[in-house]
């Protein structure tokens, strides 16, 4: 199961101080999220697992943490900024719209055609101007970059050190609460979530193993991880839109190659099974990306026997129509 990965033996006080400072920015707008073990999940998996409930954040996803830190640092560097633009499948856009509103800044978000209806509505409710363009996230991102110069807006990439520093606050909360964790399982979209966990673990000097999770239908990161270089795919087809990536970020991949123990691919059927289990065992709604770590644990439960495992439930923004279909399918079996 394990591939070679470097694990640190001692912490980095300066790096930890920087992450703690970023966390203080986050806590000006939200409280730490719930991190707890659920007996019914342990019963179902046979593993002592702890769930980090980022679905409880003000926008229902972990991305808000990165958006808050990015905007706070941006307005310090560029006090005359008029607005920002980015591309998203939903949660990154919500985080930026939420943070931009705190500074009365314009936020423009580009989404691909056919994007989740309820995520679109959530972004608009937070004040974002929504533009639909392209067949997938990567085409939407290219369009957003073009519009940035035309509209005089600051372009926000989906992966940036400030985003990672903000996101690392959820990892610090996990390690502060349960430093004895043997492993943490994290879904990978463009990489800020898993890189935040890597930075926090390394800064604390812990030996906790980190496992990445992707969809079998959107496995560009898995192919890249195994090849040791960025590999783009022609498509990214999965019901888990938060991890529907076909163009990996080189910086994120570099961090993963030195610090991730293994990468697990899960099918949509396994993700949907995990969504239903979360609902039954914890009464929490998970979106596809959020359920992917639990799907990975179910797939490889024997490998984690006797271990303390942290699962990142990165978001709960699942469209009602998708939930209806998933539950109907579950009830047929």
Residues 119 and 261 in one domain: no
Confidence grade of residue 7 (pLDDT, cut at 50, 70, 90): very low
Given a contact cutoff of 8 angstroms between Cβ atoms, the answer to whether 162 and 70 are in contact is yes
Give residue-wise pLDDT tens across range 274-287.
999 999 999 999 99
pLDDT at 172: 98
Output the domain CATH number for residue 149.
3.40.50.1100
Q: Which whole number is the average pLDDT over 126-155?
A: 94
Q: Quick one: 150 and 239 in the same domain? A: no
Residue 5: band (very low, low, confident or very high) from pLDDT cuts 50, 70, 90: very low
Gyration radius (Cα) of the chain, Å: 18
Whether the Cβ atoms of residue 288 and residue 239 lie closer than 8 Å to each other:
yes
Q: 135 lies in a domain?
A: yes
Residue 90 lies in a domain: yes
Of 66, 69, 65, nearest in space to 57 by CA: 65
Is the residue at 192 inside a domain?
A: yes
Among 125, 140, 155, the domain-final residue is 155
Are 129 and 80 part of one and the same domain?
yes
pLDDT digits (tens, 9 = 90+) for 219-230: 999 999 999 999
Q: Quick one: 317 and 237 in the same domain?
A: yes
Note whether residue 300 is domain-resident.
yes
Which pLDDT tens digit goes with each residue over 35-82? 999 999 999 999 999 999 999 999 999 999 999 999 999 999 999 999
Per-residue pLDDT at 6: 42
Same domain, 87 and 206: no
88 and 174 fall within a common domain: no
**In the listed set 105, 122, 155, which residue is the last one of a domain according to the structure?**
155
| pLDDT at residue 259 tops 70 | yes
Asked if 117 and 227 sit in the same domain, the reply is no
CA of residue 8 relative to chain centroid, distance: 23
**Claim to verify: residue 172 and residue 231 sit in the same structural domain:** yes
The whole-number pLDDT of residue 2 equals 53
What digits encode the pLDDT tens for the residues 150-170?
A: 999 999 998 999 999 999 999
Cα(15)–Cα(22) distance, integer angstroms = 11
198 and 312 assigned to the same domain: yes
310 in any annotated domain? yes
Residue 22 lies in a domain: yes
CA distance 62 to 4: 28
pLDDT tens figures, 260-306? 999 999 999 999 999 999 999 999 999 999 999 999 999 999 999 99
Q: Given 135, 155, 175, which residue is the final one in a domain? A: 155
The answer to the question of residue 8 being in a domain is no
298 and 224 assigned to the same domain: yes
Domain with 141 in it: 63-155
Residue 2 lies in a domain: no
Average pLDDT rounded to a whole number, residues 84-97: 94
271 close to 292: Cβ distance less than 8 angstroms = yes
Bridge partners of 209?
183
Whole-prediction pTM value? Answer: 0.93
Residues 320 and 216 in one domain: yes
Does 9 have pLDDT greater than 60?
no
Structural domains in the chain (count) = 2
Tell me: do 323 and 277 sit in the same domain. Answer: yes
Closest CA to 126 of 148, 143, 109, 140: 109
């Amino acid at each position: 199961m394990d591939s070679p990965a470097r694990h640190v033996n001692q912490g980095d006080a300066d790096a930890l101080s920087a992450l703690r400072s970023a966390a203080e920015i986050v806590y000006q707008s939200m409280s730490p999220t719930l991190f707890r073990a659920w007996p019914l999940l342990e019963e179902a998996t046979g593993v002592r697992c702890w769930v980090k409930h980022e679905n409880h954040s003000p926008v229902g996803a972990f991305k808000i943490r990165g958006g808050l830190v990015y905007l706070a640092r941006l307005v310090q560097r560029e006090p005359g900024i008029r607005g920002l633009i980015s591309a998203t499948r939903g949660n990154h856009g919500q985080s930026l719209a939420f943070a931009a509103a705190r500074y009365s800044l314009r936020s423009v978000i580009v989404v691909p055609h056919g994007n989740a209806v309820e995520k679109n509505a959530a972004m608009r409710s937070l004040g974002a101007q929504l533009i639909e363009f392209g067949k997938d996230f990567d085409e939407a991102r290219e369009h957003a970059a073009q519009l940035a110069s035309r509209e005089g807006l600051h372009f926000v990439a989906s992966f940036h050190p400030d985003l990672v520093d903000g996101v690392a606050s959820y990892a610090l909360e996990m390690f502060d609460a349960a430093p004895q964790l043997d492993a943490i399982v994290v879904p990978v979209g463009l990489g800020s979530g898993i890189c935040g966990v890597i930075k926090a673990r390394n800064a604390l000097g812990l030996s906790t193993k980190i496992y990445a999770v992707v969809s079998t239908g959107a496995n560009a990161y898995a192919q890249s991880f195994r090849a040791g270089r960025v590999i783009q795919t022609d498509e990214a087809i999965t019901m888990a839109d938060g991890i529907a990536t076909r163009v990996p970020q080189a910086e994120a991949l570099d961090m993963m190659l030195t610090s991730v123990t293994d990468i697990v691919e899960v099918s949509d059927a396994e993700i949907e099974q995990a969504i239903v289990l979360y609902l039954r065992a914890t009464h929490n709604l998970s979106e596809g990306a959020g359920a992917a770590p639990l799907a990975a644990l179910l797939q490889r439960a024997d490998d984690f026997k006797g271990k303390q495992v942290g699962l990142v439930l990165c978001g709960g923004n699942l469209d009602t129509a998708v939930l209806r279909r998933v539950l109907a399918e579950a009830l047929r079996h």
